[in-house]
Chain A
Amino acid sequence: MVAAVTLSACGGGGDSGASDTVRVTLVNHVWTENIRQALPEFEKATGLKVEVTQLGEDQLSDQYNVKLNAGSRDIDVMMYRPLQEGQLFAKNKYLADLTDRAKESADFGLDDFQASPLGATTYEDKVVGIPIITEQQVLYYRKDLLEKSGFSAPPQTLDELKTQAAKIKADNPGVAGFVSRTGKAAAVTQFSSFLFSFGGDFVDDSGKAAVNTDAAKQAYAYYGELLREHGPANISTDMSWSEAMAIFTQGQAAFYTEANSLYKNATDPAKSKVSESVGFAPFPAGPAGSKPYNIPSWALAVNEASENQSNAWKFIEWAAGKEQTLEQQKAGVPGARASVWENPEGIATYPQDMADAITVSLANGVGHDRPVVERVAQAREIVGQPIVDAITGKDAAASADAANEGFQKFLDDEAR
């Protein structure tokens, strides 16, 4: 007890409490399932023991909030969302500087990482996280329903998407033409590709709020109308990916826009009733072309307060290393290393249409899917309000004006 108090008084981290047990906190994800299976290999090679805590996204966030705030040392490696919590965590000095370790490691090859994902895990020129999963938005669709309604190909444009969704809904009672996330904060990331493809963004080049531009207003109205007119009956405004994915995989919707990293949920017969008939297409083009997001969704970092940082790095070196990233890529989890995309083996296991869709996303992708700010949760609620207002049939343009005002105030506040 006394020893513990003295230690905590010393503060900081490092290797003062080096231990053979590495405590790793991971989120529920296909990536995590794969890494857990490969763990014995790592434990055998290094003689270390890995203790995994696995949580859902929200619970993970809460856990970090409590533990990192308290300066807890019982997390060594943490899986986190660079675009959601990255800035806040780095500013609060929760994330250890990995620059030297990553550069010095011979096999790791920091320069193998794509620039945009690595940029998202770099704070004030220091590498504070290693991106492990990237995501691009694609269009999930039902081949059988398209065929039945006489469409030979998935929609190329957002206009075609609306036409096809309407026809399929009319042809199949009880089946929605389109489904996607509807929750105020949850929908923002999936709405972003619509916003970009209409030619908008959350902020303009000068850093001012831009969610009430004509492009943004059109995007809000389009997204809301698509769900209101052609979505599931009695649509809830609380849906995140799990609810929307459930509607799609239960066979109750024809189109679904979502991150490609979740595609196994739709193609795995154990989880999906439509595994045989699901197809993938590039995000349909809007007035500004097809501009889906292409972002690093998850990264690994070392807790600054951990006293076991060397061993924590060993875990990251392995889990985000070339070999494991390729294994993950083959298992359907898109990686952030250039080498796995160049390697023919890396995309050989993807459904062909998914691989094609990803290629388009990688070429035109936008590097963020939510406002790039420090207090992301709050920003998402502000820019997400017009989405739910549009879905429920309120005046989307007026709501966008109000949101823009609120968002500008938020940005001013954050700049102070």
Chain B
Amino acid sequence: MPAVTAPEKAPRGASVMPDTPGWARWANDHRKWLFAAPAMVFVAALIIFPLAWTAYLSLTDSAGSVRADSEFIGFRNYVEVLTDTDRFWPAVGRTAAFTGAALFFEVVLGMAIALLLWRPFRGEKWVRVAILLPLVATPVAVGMMWRLIFDPNIGLANQALSWVGIGPQPWLAGQHTALPTTIFIDIWQWTPMVVLILLAGLTSLSDEPQEAAMIDGASAWQRFRHVTLPLLMPTVIVAVLLRGIDALKTFDILYATKGRGGGSFHEVETLNVYAYGLSFDYNEYGLSSTVLILFFLIIIGSMWALTARRKGAGR
């Protein structure tokens, strides 16, 4: 078919024979839209529509049932949420703490493990498989498993501590230990993903700068600090970006371990858990949408900041 193979730059309709029907000519003229249409419809239906609907709901007092009458109340929900120092701001703090701490340890540990796995060694394959195992487990199952391990009375964790003479810890049950414990679970599950990304980055580095540094007499630490790390920086930022967005949005582990509201004192209530509670426990759809829109803006903001860094590092 000459129409399809026609060169991209050909003037409109020039390659189509004069006797082709009108629709074929139209289709040919607009083929870049035509081919992209299914994907665009998909995005519109599944991303743009829900987002726009949530944004609309956030400006109403919708509660009880989304089909019930609701009033347009402008930005009153935003004022209410942004001045809420009881639930909203602590949730923002917990989201930041959870993401920051999890991300920090995941990247540091991930880097260390990736460096260990970088050079070939015996049994390498098995070690790699073992390290990747947590990654393939379902988060809810992971949550349930750790919940059993961390049970203050019958859990394995306290059992193990008692062997070395340390008294039982409350873990997930404690008001101040719950959040660190969930951070630990997140690190356990997601460090392998960071390892995977960093390892891919390491493998693609060429050996020459390393050899040059070695000849210049650089120590292992110096080679890592001044050669490997700068070269690997773009990959590190990709890992931080991917993992960071995911960590911000964590829900499954928190819900599986502490349930609704993130525990009786909202110990692990992040923005996601809070928004879920607002809509599923309280049926406050307007407020819940407001929290979700604000959360969305936070994610977009942090993503933008990181991408800007990445461009800076790539230069």
Q: Which residues of A approach B to under 8 Å, CB–CB?
A: 58, 61-62, 65, 68-69, 71, 88, 91-92, 94, 182-185, 232-238, 247, 250, 252, 374-375, 377-378, 381, 384, 388, 392
Contacts and interface: CB of A to CB of B under 8 A. Distances in A.
Contact of A184 (B174, B264, B279): B264
Nearest to A378: B282
Interface stretch (B126-134, B218-226, B230-238, B254-262): B254-262
A252 B173 contact: no
Interface string B96-126: 0000000000000000000000000000000
B66 A69 contact: yes
B53 interface: no
Nearest to A234: B152
Shortest 5 CB-CB contacts between residues of A and residues of B: A236-B173, A234-B152, A184-B264, A92-B65, A237-B264
Counting chain B CB atoms within 10 Å of each CB, which of A68, A236, A247 scores highest? Answer: A236
Contacts of B168: 233-234
B72 interface: no
A92 B263 CA distance: 29
B263 A234 contact: no
A62 to B, nearest CB: 6
Contact of B172 (A184, A233, A236): A236
Nearest to A182: B264
B152 A233 contact: yes
Contacts of B66: 69
A68 to B, nearest CB: 8
B282 A237 contact: no
Interface in B158-194: 168-170, 172-175
Given A65-B283, A69-B65, A238-B263, 15 more contacts: A62-B280, A65-B280, A69-B67, A92-B65, A92-B68, A182-B264, A232-B153, A233-B152, A233-B153, A237-B175, A238-B173, A238-B259, A238-B264, A247-B153, A374-B64
B185 to A, nearest CB: 16
Contacts of A247: 153
Interface string B222-255: 0000000000000000000000000000000000
A62 B258 CA distance: 17
B84 interface: no
A92 B62 CA distance: 12
A242 to B, nearest CB: 11
Contacts of B42: none
Interface of B: 64-68, 152-154, 168-170, 172-175, 258-261, 263-265, 279-283
Interface of B is mostly: loop
Nearest to A237: B264
Contacts of B282: 375, 377-378
B170 A236 contact: yes
Contacts of A92: 64-65, 67-68
B280 A61 contact: yes
A23 to B, nearest CB: 21
Nearest to B278: A378
A232 B263 CA distance: 18
A58 B170 contact: no
A275 to B, nearest CB: 19
B173 A235 contact: yes
B87 to A, nearest CB: 10
Contacts of A381: 261, 281
10 contacts: A58-B260, A92-B65, A182-B264, A183-B264, A232-B153, A235-B173, A238-B172, A374-B64, A377-B281, A388-B264
A68 B68 CA distance: 12
A3 B170 CA distance: 57
A3 B66 CA distance: 24
A262 B173 CA distance: 25
Contacts of B169: 234
Among B65, B280, B282, the most chain A Cβ lie within 10 Å of the Cβ of B65
